[in-house]
Structure 1
Amino acid sequence: MSTTDGATSTEFHTLYVNHHGWLQGWLRRKLGCCASAADLTQDTFVRLLAKHEPIQIRDSRAVLVTVARSVLSNHFRRQKLERAYLEVLASVPEQLMPSLEEQAILLQTLQELDRLMDGLEVPVRQAFLWSQLDGMAHAEIAERLGVSVTTVKRYIIKAGVQCCFAE
């Protein structure tokens, strides 16, 4: 089954109706939360529906679990990022505390940056973040990472390209 040209809305509807409850139960067991399981179930089906290239589904549950694992992984990564952000925010003096709207925008920006840099090697991500967020000099980054300044420059360019040209 394909979610693009080859699939009819009826085929996708059938997949959804036949497996929605099962997938939500699978996610509920993984998460221990009915509301999060419902959200991630929907995200899984939306991701399948949004595929640009045709996908062939022979074993519906295997495909759903594969996509759901990816959605689940992203969910846990966002939670970890949010916890780290809240820990840093807790250390900010009250007079410097951003407004709730600014906090939400900052968190969304961090999550988008994390999404854009997904798949980059740790040293590449680290060099880019130290450079862009901490304002560290290339020589200092090179020393911390144990690489040359030229390598740091390549890392920063690679991460910048990833962020600029990601879909």
Structure 2
Amino acid sequence: MEVMGSAKSGQIRTLYREHRRWLTLFVQRRLGCPHSSADLVHDTYLRILASGVVLDSGDSRRYLAHIAKGLVVDRYRRRRIESAYLEYLRQQPVELFPSPENRVQMIETLVEVSALLQRLPEKVRLALLLRQLEGLSYRDIAKRLQVSISSVEKYVARALQGCMMVALGERP
């Protein structure tokens, strides 16, 4: 079974041949590491393959840059989350350290929860964070967000439902 038509496949090969060097330099200027840059260039083309979208040659570099910039942001966000988690672990007793597999799994989950939180509407995200991180009551959150207590209950429920889906490995 052919997943992608030969015409699209040829367009992607052409896109790769014509722009790989340019994209590698573009990414390397942002990351500063040739190895990470090569990985990110590879990931950029994988995204294009997965989407099946190939633009006209006039828009190719803009399209590649858009995807690559998003991947760079994702990489920095992941590094920031990973660094914060590892710092948290350094403060814990050694006997509480998770296995390397569990650390990787926890970082993946934290990255997914972070992405979920970024996609939530601002009031939904704030309601959850005020409740979970600051321990505010629904009444106090309602005052701060200038909404009803009922709205806060719905906001928190919606955010927790999304987090639960991430924890279960489902896509919210």
TM-score interval (norm. to shorter): 0.7 to 0.9
Q: Which has the higher contact order (CA 8 A, sep 6+)?
A: 1
Q: How many residues align?
A: 162
Residues 13-32 of structure 1 show CA distances to partners (whole Å, capped at 9, x for unaligned) of: 01011111110111111111
Alignment partners' CA distance in 2, 1:160 and 1:151: 14
The root-mean-square deviation of aligned C-alpha atoms, in Å, is 3.0
Cα deviation for residue 39 of structure 1 reads 0.9
Contact 1:141–1:152 (CA under 8 A) maintained in structure 2: no
Cα deviation for residue 51 of structure 1 reads 1.2
TM-score, structure 2 as length reference: 0.76
Contact 1:138–1:152 (CA under 8 A) maintained in structure 2: no
Moved over 4 A (4+): 4-7, 133-138, 143-148, 160-163
1:34-53 to 2 correspondences below 5 Å: 34-51=34-51
Alignment partners' CA distance in 1, 2:145 and 2:81: 26
Q: Aligned pair 1:111/2:116, yes or no?
A: no
Counterpart in the other structure of 1:27: 27
Alignment partners' CA distance in 2, 1:113 and 1:80: 14
Counterpart in the other structure of 2:138: 139
Cα deviation for residue 74 of structure 1 reads 0.9
Deviates more, 1:135-144 or 1:93-102: 135-144
Helix, strand or coil at the partner of 1:59: helix
Q: Structure 2: 5+ residue runs without aligned partners?
A: none
Counterpart in the other structure of 1:66: 66
Contact 1:89–1:97 (CA under 8 A) maintained in structure 2: yes
Using a 3 Å threshold, how does the CA distance of structure 1 residues 65 and 141 change in structure 2: closer, same or farther?
farther
Cα deviation for residue 145 of structure 1 reads 4.8
Q: Aligned pair 1:166/2:171, yes or no?
A: yes
Counterpart in the other structure of 2:18: 18
Residues 56-115 of structure 1 show CA distances to partners (whole Å, capped at 9, x for unaligned) of: 333211111111111111111111111111121111122322222222221121112223
Helix, strand or coil at the partner of 1:50: helix
Q: Which has the higher helix share?
A: 2
Helix, strand or coil at the partner of 2:118: coil
Alignment partners' CA distance in 1, 2:134 and 2:102: 21
Alignment partners' CA distance in 2, 1:96 and 1:143: 37
Q: Structure 1: 5+ residue runs without aligned partners?
A: none
TM-score, structure 1 as length reference: 0.78
